[in-house]
A and B are shown apart, each in its own frame.
Chain A
């Protein structure tokens, strides 16, 4: 959702204002606030330069994990999202090629993080990142549908998952099926 992005942007703008301010406030506190704001702006800009839009998705993952840090975050039986799940999801995002549209993030009640590529109501590819190095994934593409599991070493996106994402994104001719 756009809420975390807008909060991040608002925080950035506020920090930028503070950093750029050249007013007459010369107290030690004012200077300390300005220095901190400069450091924050610098850090944010470096992060966005290094990881581009991926840093925004990673920020969304952190925000969602914070929302789901306690069990029953859905008011029912949901499992908390553990740090190992967050770490694996972030590794997955970092491993994605830069020419692929980034996914939307959702929390699954079983404690997994869902990374969803939604091209239309009936064309969706979804990867569930849990606490192991095996990724559950499923897709619908019109009347075609399926599911499978692939191993993720933390650095390279499994080929079948990459094919599935591209299929849903491009509607291309890449054939992918369960092994």
Chain B
């Protein structure tokens, strides 16, 4: 059991949330693949929470990024959706509820690696629900 009270292993049916820190990462209706692309540490940071309760969602995001951080919204999807792309979601606390999407394709050719990762991110984004902070 983790400090947050959540189990160590992340279940397939759990919701995970990717906080949207760029206004370029979503349209009026959809989440873009860029929102899920990994950074240089080859992990995508998420937290283990669903769309509801909404107040808790934004509170956790504020705790993660600080009270003054600009948060545009969140992309919510099931862990199963990530694993179907042969990626993994692993708990990574602290902070509480934090987890990482790992296992992104690696390639000696950086552009090919980016293309492989983008394909997976496109699928994940297409199966995610967009939550806006101003809703």
Tell me if A158 is interfacial: C-beta within 8 Å of chain B.
no
Chain B 9-28 interface 0/1 with A at a Cβ cutoff of 8 Å (1 = within): 00000000000011111010
In the complex the two chains form, is A145's CB within 8 Å of B24's CB?
Answer: no
CB-CB < 8 A to A75: which residues of B? 21, 65-66, 69
CB contact under 8 A between A1 and B23, given known A128-B115, A138-B118: yes
CB-CB < 8 A to A128: which residues of B? 111, 114-115, 118
Tell which of B32, B66, B69, B110 touches A130, judged by Cβ atoms closer than 8 Å.
B110
Interface residue tally for chain B (C-beta within 8 Å): 33
Chain A 102-113 interface 0/1 with B at a Cβ cutoff of 8 Å (1 = within): 001111111010
Q: Compute how far the CA of A137 lies from the CA of B115 in the bound complex, rounded to whole angstroms.
A: 5
How extensive is the interface on chain A, given as a class? 35 or more
In the complex the two chains form, is B22's CB within 8 Å of A110's CB?
Answer: no
In the complex the two chains form, is B126's CB within 8 Å of A106's CB?
Answer: no
Tell me if B122 is interfacial: C-beta within 8 Å of chain A.
yes
In the complex the two chains form, is B122's CB within 8 Å of A108's CB?
Answer: no
* Cβ-closest chain B residue relative to A64: B24
Tell me if B33 is interfacial: C-beta within 8 Å of chain A.
yes
Tell me if A77 is interfacial: C-beta within 8 Å of chain B.
yes
* Cβ-closest chain B residue relative to A4: B23
Q: Compute how far the CA of A110 lies from the CA of B109 in the bound complex, rounded to whole angstroms.
A: 14
5 more CB-based (< 8 A) A-B contacts, given A67-B24, A104-B24, A109-B38: A1-B23, A107-B24, A128-B114, A137-B118, A147-B119
Ranked nearest first, the 8 interchain pairs of A and B with the lowest CB-CB distance are A77-B39, A136-B115, A147-B115, A106-B34, A136-B114, A138-B119, A109-B39, A138-B118
Chain A positions near chain B (C-beta within 8 angstroms): 1, 3, 64, 67-68, 73-79, 104-110, 112, 114, 116, 118, 121-122, 124, 126, 128, 130, 132, 134-140, 145-149
